[in-house]
């Protein structure tokens, strides 16, 4: 498939790009895969369980067995080689032990970042969380989760990749409404996973999103307009 040139931070990316998604069987990732595939992009779907391959393939992704927790940086780099962008959509989500939250949400994101550098993948998008900008210091699952996200975000921001950090508010499985609020500062309001996936697809195709930390919450502005407003500001 013909590859489009990599864009600078002020250029729009066209379709026909190759996107590698870590945590490809997640709820946002599956939605994103379907959107990207429908627009003509190719998706390398990193999964940890071979039983997830059918779900990923049904949405247009090419499943690759690669568990961030057990794979080496070299193995991950080989899996994403040739991609134009990577998306970190994996996460323990506060489920399970504190150790696994750190292993997946922090260490997995950093391992993918290093692998992207080794593989020459310039764009790196990470799904973080609202609250990671000032995580609490408690021992509960949410506090540990937000600190893990904060540590991962800090590593991404200090890298030389063309990174974008997206921090959604509380997520829902309600159908997307196509209306959001996108800001460079924290906001309030739940947001459907459908709308987060649609926003990610837009960010992947807009070079102006590089080196941005963005917050997305439910809102009244059409998604395209909300994205344009924050990226042109």
Tell me the per-residue pLDDT of 157-167, one tens digit each, with 9 for 90 and over: 999 999 999 99
Confidence at residue 20, expressed as pLDDT on a 0 to 100 scale = 98
Report, as residue numbers or ranges, the catalytic residues. Answer: 145
Tell me the per-residue pLDDT of 220-233, one tens digit each, with 9 for 90 and over: 999 999 999 999 97
**Position 203 pLDDT exceeds 50:** yes
pLDDT band at 12 (very low <50, low <70, confident <90, very high): very low
64 DSSP β-pair partners: 46
Who contacts 86 (Cβ-Cβ below 8 Å, separation ≥6)? Answer: 19, 20, 21, 22, 80, 112, 116, 121, 123, 124, 125
Q: CA 209 to CA 181: how far, in whole Å?
A: 16
Confidence at residue 28, expressed as pLDDT on a 0 to 100 scale = 98
Token readout for 86 is 């990577």
The share of the chain scoring above pLDDT 90, in percent, equals 86
Q: What is the overall mean pLDDT for the chain? A: 91
Task: Output Rg (C-alpha) for the chain, integer angstroms.
Answer: 16
Tell me the per-residue pLDDT of 75-113, one tens digit each, with 9 for 90 and over: 999 999 999 999 999 987 555 578 889 999 999 999 999
Residue 97, judged by CB atoms within 10 A of its CB (0-12, 13-18, 19+), counts as exposed
């Amino acid at each position: 498939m013909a590859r489009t040139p990599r864009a600078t931070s002020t250029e729009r990316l066209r379709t026909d790009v190759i996107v590698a998604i870590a945590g490809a069987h997640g709820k946002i990732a599956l939605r994103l895969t379907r959107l990207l595939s429908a627009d003509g992009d190719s998706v390398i779907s990193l999964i940890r369980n071979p039983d997830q391959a059918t779900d990923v393939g049904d949405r247009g992704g090419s499943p690759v067995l690669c568990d961030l927790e057990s794979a080496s940086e070299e193995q991950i780099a080989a899996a994403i080689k040739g991609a134009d962008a990577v998306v970190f959509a994996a996460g323990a989500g506060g489920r399970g032990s504190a150790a696994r939250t750190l292993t997946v949400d922090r260490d997995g994101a950093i391992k993918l970042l290093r692998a992207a550098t080794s593989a020459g993948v310039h764009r790196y998008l990470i799904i973080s969380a609202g609250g990671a900008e000032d995580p609490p210091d408690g021992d509960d699952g949410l506090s540990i989760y937000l600190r893990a996200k904060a540590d991962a975000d800090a590593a991404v921001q200090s890298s030389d990749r063309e990174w974008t950090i997206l921090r959604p508010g509380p997520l829902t499985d309600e159908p997307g409404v196509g209306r959001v609020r996108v800001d460079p500062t924290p906001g309030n309001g739940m947001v459907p996973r459908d709308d987060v996936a649609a926003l990610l697809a837009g960010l992947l195709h807009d070079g102006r999103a590089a080196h941005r930390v963005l917050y997305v919450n439910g809102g009244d502005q059409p998604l395209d307009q909300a994205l344009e407003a924050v990226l042109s500001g």
